[in-house]
Structure 1
Amino acid sequence: MKVDYIVVGSGLAGILFCQRLKENKKTFVVIDDASQTASKVAGGLYNPVILKRFTPVWNAQTQLDLALPIYKQMEKEFDMNLDYKIPIYRLFASIEEQNNWFVAADRPRLNKYLDTTIQRLSNPAIRAAFGYGRVNDTGRIDTIKLIKAFQAQQKSLGQFMDASFDYEGIKIKDTGICYKSIEAKYIVFAEGYGLKQNPYFNHLPLNGTKGELLVIHAPNLNIDFVLKSSVFIIPLGNALYLLGATYEWNDKSNNTTPAAKSELLNKVKSFLQCEFTVEHQIAGIRPTVIDRRPLIGAHKQHKRLFVLNGLGTRGVMIAPYAAKQLYDYIELQKDLDPEVDIRRFSKD
C-alpha cells in the first residue's frame, strides 16, 4: 500500500488531522489499538472561558472560528448530529463569586462570553441561593459518536489497522517511510498518553492527568444546559447526565476507582438535592503539557516523523487548530506558532 501519510492514533488529534488530509486530497492509513481513551471519556465541551478563575481560554476565538465549521462539515459527511449548542451555567456559591463574575465580564476579552444578568432559575433539584452566570458561545461535541463514525468509515475504505504500532518496524529512507507493507511520505504520531512509549518523541514533557466521570440517571433534575459548579453536569438525554471530572496526576491506568467515585458524589451532593443513581463510571488519561499548549513538530533527526499531541482538557476546541498548524507546517512550509512548536523545549 502506498499513501501520503500514516497516522498513528484515532482520537481527536488524529481524526482532525485526517480531516485536513481528506480536504486536501491526501491519502492516508490510520493505525490504532484503542489503548488510549482520553477522547472517548471527554466531556466534549467547547467553552471559551476558564470558569474556575473567570479567565479566557488561550486563543479561544481563533480556535472556535476554525473548529465549528469543521464539525459542521463532519456532521454532513457522517450524516449525524455531533455539535449540540448548549449553554453553560456557572453556579455561584457566594456574593463574592457573583462580584468576581461581573469584574471578569467587564474585561474586553471576556465581555462577549459572560452574560451580565444573574440567572434565577427555579429548579428544586439544585441549591442555587446565589443564582447562575451564563456563558455564551458554548456547546458539546459528541466525541464517542465522532470516533465511532470516523473509525467505521476508515475501516470500510480499508484505511484502518486495528493494531499496536511497532516502532521497530519503521524503516526511514530519504524518499519516505516503510512500515510493514505500507509505503508513506510521512508518519504523524497522534497517540495521546501513548506517546510515553514512543522512542522518537518520549523525551517531550507530556504528562498524563487521569480523569474519571460518572454517568448518572436523575429523572427529576430536568436541565437542558451544562451546570458547572465544583463539578460539571452535562445532559445526555433520557434523564442521563455526565458528571465529572476528577484530576489525578499519579495513577496512569485507565481503571476506574472507588476514590474518584466518592469524590464526585461528595461534590455533587453539595448542590444537587434530587435522587439519582450511578449508571456507570469511566476513566482515561488526558495528554497534558506543563504549559498547557499542544506538542506539534518534526523529529530533530528524522524529518518525516511528526508529533501531534498534548491537547489537554480542551481537545474539541484545540484539535482543529493544532491539526491545521501541523498540516500547514508539513505541506505549505509555514512556521508553527512558537507556543505549540516542540522546539520550545529544545535545549540548544
Structure 2
Amino acid sequence: MKQIDYIIVGDGYAGMFFAHQLIRNNKSFVLFSEGRKSASQVSAGIINPVVLKKFTTFWKAQEQIDFLKKTLTEIKSYTGKNYLIDSPIHRIFHDENEQKLWLKKSENDELSGFLDKKFDHLEVVKNNFLTGKVNQSARLQVSGFFVDLFDFLEKNAFLIKEKFDYTKLDASSGTYKDLQFKNAVFCEGMGVTENPFFSDIAVNPNKGHHIKVKLSHAIPEDVTIKKKHFLFPTDNGLYFYGGTYDREQLHHHVDESAVTQLVNGLSEIYPHDFEVEEVNFGFRPTVKDRRPIIGRHASFKNLYVFNGLGARGILNGCYFSKSLYQFIEEDIPLHEEVSAERFK
C-alpha cells in the first residue's frame, strides 16, 4: 500500500491552490480529476478587489491580491510561466452620478488604492460618461494555468484521472483503494452534493454563462471592459463576454435567455457587428454570506472540506488554501468568517 500525506478531490481553483501549498511544503499527495471542465476552468479569470455595482471592496481584499501575486510567482518557479495578465478593469459609467460616487468612494481609505481618480475614454466601445480604472485589478490566463498545472501534476505522479469513489474510502483507517493517507481534502465545488461526508454543507449553485464572440472592430488589448458584464480578448482572436448569474435555471444545458441577456448587454456597449462563436456555462458554489466554507469533518478528523469560493474563486482559493494548510498542519485556527462551524 502506497503511503501519502494527502488526497485532494477536485481540480478547480481550490484544489489547485491547495496542491500548490503541498508542493511548496514538500508533502506527498495525489489529486483526483474527473477530466470534466469545472466552473473554475471556464471562468473569466478576473482578479478584482472592487464590487463594481456599488464601488465597495470586501474582506481582506488587499491581503488577497498581495498573496495571489506572491503565489503566482512561486508557481512560475516550477511551470516556468507567468499567468498574471496586466489588463486592468475599466468600468463604464452609466451617468454623472456614478462618476461622482466613484470619486467620493476613492477618498475612502480602504478604496483609495483601488479606485483611480483619473477617468479615461476608450475607443470603439460606447462610454459617453467615460470609464473608471480599478487599480491592482488584472486577469489570470485561465487555460494556460490549468493546462500547465495538470501537466506538472501528471509528470510528477500527483494526478489521478478518475472519478473519486466514496464507497472505497475508509476514513477510520485512512485508506482509499491502495493508498494510505493522512488527510483527505474535498474541493469539489457543486460536486460536494454527492459527497456523503460533506453533503450537508451550505453551498448553493449559481449558474453562469459566457459567450465568446468575433468582433468586427478590435477593442484595446490591454484593458478589461466592464459595464453589465466583462469584455476582453482571449488567446484565439475571440473575445470573452460574461458572465451571468442565475440561481433558478439550474439544468445542465445552455439557457437561451442567458445568451440573449449577454448579446443585449454587449450590444449596449459595442455598436458594431459581432458574431457569437461559442457559449459556455458552469455552476459556481456560492454561500449566503459570500465567504468560503472550510473545515474538518465532525467525526473523521482526517477529512476536510474547502468549498464555496463563489465568483471570487481565484482570490478566495489562493488566500484560504494557506489558511487550510496551517489549520491542518500547524493547528492554527481558521477565521470564524470562513469556518464551516459558523453554520452549526
Normalising by structure 2, what TM-score? Answer: 0.96
Cα separation, 1, equivalents of 2:212 and 2:27: 39
Question: Which residue in the other structure is 1:208 paired with?
Answer: 205
Pair 1:185 & 2:182 matched: yes
The percent identity for this pair of structures is: 32
* CA 75–256 in structure 1, closer or farther in 2 if over 3 Å, else same: farther
Cα separation, 2, equivalents of 1:252 and 1:160: 30
Aligned-partner residue type, residue 140 of structure 2? I
- Equivalent residue for 2:194, pick from 171, 193, 197: 197
Contact 1:193–1:287 (Cα < 8 Å) also in 2: yes
Paired residue secondary structure (2:108): coil
Contact 2:175–2:181 (Cα < 8 Å) also in 1: yes
Cα separation, 2, equivalents of 1:276 and 1:330: 50
Pair 1:46 & 2:43 matched: no
User: What's the offset of the Cα at 1:252?
Assistant: 3.1
Paired residue secondary structure (2:64): helix
Count of residue pairs brought into register by the alignment: 342
Cα separation, 2, equivalents of 1:97 and 1:299: 46
Cα separation, 2, equivalents of 1:7 and 1:259: 36
Question: Which residue in the other structure is 2:111 paired with?
Answer: 110
User: What's the offset of the Cα at 1:161?
Assistant: 1.4
* CA 185–238 in structure 1, closer or farther in 2 if over 3 Å, else same: closer
User: What's the offset of the Cα at 1:254?
Assistant: 4.2
Cα separation, 2, equivalents of 1:252 and 1:182: 36
Question: Which residue in the other structure is 1:31 paired with?
Answer: 32
1:196-275 to 2 correspondences below 5 Å = 196-224=193-221, 225-237=223-235, 239-275=237-273
Cα separation, 2, equivalents of 1:250 and 1:33: 26
Contact 1:211–1:245 (Cα < 8 Å) also in 2: yes
Could you report, residue by residue, the CA deviation over 1:89-138 in whole angstroms, capped at 9, with x for unpaired residues?
Answer: 000111111111111111111011111122123x2x21111111111001
User: What's the offset of the Cα at 1:264?
Assistant: 0.1
User: What's the offset of the Cα at 1:159?
Assistant: 2.2
Contact 1:36–1:192 (Cα < 8 Å) also in 2: no
Could you report, residue by residue, the CA deviation over 1:191-247 in whole angstroms, capped at 9, with x for unpaired residues?
Answer: 011011111111111011010101111141321200000111022245421100111
Cα separation, 2, equivalents of 1:286 and 1:163: 22
Contact 2:15–2:187 (Cα < 8 Å) also in 1: yes
Question: Which residue in the other structure is 1:87 paired with?
Answer: 88
Could you report, residue by residue, the CA deviation over 1:149-204 in whole angstroms, capped at 9, with x for unpaired residues?
Answer: 1112222222211111111111123xx51001111001000001101111111111
Question: Which residue in the other structure is 2:290 paired with?
Answer: 292
Cα separation, 2, equivalents of 1:237 and 1:117: 29
Contact 1:221–1:274 (Cα < 8 Å) also in 2: no
Q: Which 10-residue stretch deviates more, 210-219 or 322-331?
A: 210-219
Contact 1:36–1:194 (Cα < 8 Å) also in 2: no
Moved over 6 A (4+): none
Cα separation, 1, equivalents of 2:105 and 2:233: 27
Cα separation, 1, equivalents of 2:72 and 2:251: 30
Cα separation, 2, equivalents of 1:250 and 1:37: 20
Paired residue secondary structure (1:313): helix
Contact 1:88–1:226 (Cα < 8 Å) also in 2: yes
Contact 1:208–1:287 (Cα < 8 Å) also in 2: yes
Runs of 5+ unmatched residues, structure 2? none
Cα separation, 1, equivalents of 2:251 and 2:150: 24
Contact 1:46–1:316 (Cα < 8 Å) also in 2: yes
Cα separation, 1, equivalents of 2:212 and 2:82: 21
Cα separation, 1, equivalents of 2:35 and 2:207: 17
Cα separation, 2, equivalents of 1:253 and 1:28: 34
